[in-house]
Amino acid sequence: MSQISYVDVFENRFDRHKKNLYIVLISLHGLIRGENMDFGRGSDIGGHVQYVVEFARTLGSMPRVYRVDLC
């Protein structure tokens, strides 16, 4: 029975994504949801939140990007 070590798993993942980007976007504004954004619920929910969500989706659709996290 073969064992998979942490290093083997990491190397395989790294090889698969080494030429692609993992992007983390941190937004300090509003209630971030990917769907059904609740505009007008508070003073900080509006155009900026929609822009950030759409920006994250656009980045995620680019061929050189394999993952985008928005928090």
Quote the pLDDT of residue 1. 47
**pTM score over 0.75:** no
Q: Which residues contact 42 (CB under 8 A, 6 or more apart)?
A: 30, 31
Enumerate the β-bridge partners of residue 26.
none
CA distances from 43 to 3, 30, 31 (A): 54, 8, 11
pLDDT tens sequence across 32-53: 766 766 655 665 566 777 788 8
- What percentage of residues in the chain have a pLDDT greater than 70? 52
Residue type, 28: L
Question: Taking all residues of the chain, what is their mean pLDDT, rounded to a whole number?
Answer: 73
The DSSP symbol for 19 reads: T
The domain limits of the chain are 20-70
Report percent pLDDT > 90 for the chain.
Answer: 20
